[in-house]
Amino acid sequence: MFRQTLRESKPSVQLLFSALVLIFCGFVITSLGMALGWVIYGVNLTEIEHMMQDLANPENISILKFFQTVQAIGVFIMPPFIIAWILSDKPMTYLQINKKPNIQGVIIVFAIVIFANPLINWLNEINAKLSLPEWLNSVQVWMQNSEDQANKITEAFLSTNSITSVVKNVIMIGILPAIGEELVFRGVVQQLFKKMYGNAHAAIWISAALFSALHLQFFGFLPRMVLGAMFGYMLEWSGTLWLPMIAHFINNATAVIAYYLAHKGLIGNELDKTGTWADGSFYLVIVSLILLGLLFKTLYQRRELKIASGD
């Protein structure tokens, strides 16, 4: 009865319900994670806060990674399946993970992620120069401090000389977010906004903005939102959530591996500057936009062909 009522409710009600499920699951799993962390590592919430201030300690990093993994599973991976099970008799179809991608689609999204690099770097450069009005200076200081802390934690997670640790980082930073965040923002949120507004473009960009905002990193908001929109169009024009998941994984895993190689001195740090004014390669942003336009056009045309053939 409860499930049927929700299924027949307005998309806005379903969206509110989805948010409540995310919050509830996040609270329950995080609490269980804290209890498990206390049993395994003997640490409580207060000690975890202290650990975040001492990122030079390898033991602290291991414990923080444990909680990061628990949070990724509890907040992002589990809730979408619960939501889909309640709102549909076919949860996998609802989340659009019932259709496997073909090799052509995988190649296209791989190329999109690679060729998007100059554009994303340029947007990051622009975003870094943005500032809030004077009367919101205290908010900007808070956001900058939060950003700095997030960057310190990320660097601490990525800084390693061990291949085993790199593999663990690829799982934690590449695979888990690619699965969980795409399930939430594209599999659930984007689809509900599409039902709400009847407009796929509005749904894609609103979901992308929420996706970026949830990271609580103001100075990376623009590039992350554009990436989120790219993932959204991948889903809309392919009909399978696997493509944005794969693209998300490639984006994150590439960053993890590139950081490791740069840390070992095997490559430089030029990848993060390609396409920026500081690097003098802004012209690559134009090239990036042209290539992305062609690739997304191909993805769109593939969808139109499928519709025309009745597939």
Question: How many C-beta atoms lie closer than 10 Å to residue 236's C-beta?
Answer: 21
Query: Which residue numbers in the chain have pLDDT < 70?
Result: 268, 270, 310-311
Whole-prediction pTM = 0.92
In single-letter form, the type of residue at position 267 comes to I
Residue 297 sits at the vertex; the CA angle it makes with 293 and 302, to the nearest 5 degrees, is 155
CA 141 vs CA 137, 146, 152: distances in Å: 6, 9, 16
Closest CA to 227 of 242, 209, 240: 209
Cα–Cα distance, 281 to 275 (Å, whole number) = 5
Closest CA to 12 of 206, 199, 197: 197
The per-residue pLDDT for 119 is 94
The per-residue pLDDT for 311 is 62
CA 109 vs CA 32, 56, 122, 245, 291: distances in Å: 37, 37, 20, 10, 12
Cα–Cα distance, 79 to 24 (Å, whole number) = 9
The per-residue pLDDT for 161 is 81
Which positions ≥6 away from 32 have C-beta within 8 Å? 70, 74
In single-letter form, the type of residue at position 299 comes to L
Which positions ≥6 away from 10 have C-beta within 8 Å? 196
Cα–Cα distance, 214 to 222 (Å, whole number) = 13
The per-residue pLDDT for 158 is 86
The per-residue pLDDT for 233 is 97
**pLDDT tens digit string along 205-239?**
999 999 998 877 777 899 999 999 999 999 999 99
Closest CA to 173 of 86, 70, 78, 253: 253
Which of the 8 DSSP states describes residue 102?
A: P
**pLDDT tens digit string along 254-288?**
999 998 988 887 776 767 788 887 777 788 999 99
Q: Residue 266, CB half-sphere, CA atoms under 13 Å: how many?
A: 7
